[in-house]
Amino acid sequence: MNWIHLTEITAIDQIIKDSFDKPQVIFKHSTRCSISSMALNRLEREEAPANATFYYLDLLNYRNISNEIADKFNVYHESPQILIIKNGECVYDESHQGINMSEIEEQVAA
């Protein structure tokens, strides 16, 4: 898994822009949460679809970015959480045990 670490709030605008060319996937991870670690491990054991860009957000260090994501994409903050951005909008979000690569693949392909 080749994560792009999301560490700058300005990157959200680039994610939106890039989402018109290819789906952008954001994984919001709490490094202190065992469920979040389990979701991360599950994702990293699978092969990610090549036609999407994957971002990793450390919620504990970058809570301001998580808050901005919730505002911009009108989604309720959860941890862990996966969001798929297409054409400037969040078209899919899932959390906790619902996070799995096969569902992400389906949503990216849709």
* pLDDT tens, N- to C-terminus, the chain (110 residues): 789 999 999 999 999 999 999 999 999 999 898 999 999 999 999 989 999 999 999 999 999 999 999 999 999 888 899 999 999 999 999 998 889 999 999 999 88
Please return the burial class of 109, using the count of CB atoms within 10 Å of its CB with bins 0-12, 13-18 and 19+.
exposed
Measured between alpha carbons, how far is 68 from 73 in angstroms, rounded to an integer? 8
CATH number of the domain to which 43 belongs: 3.40.30.10
What's the number of domains the chain is made of?
1
Domain residue limits at 53: 4-9+17-109
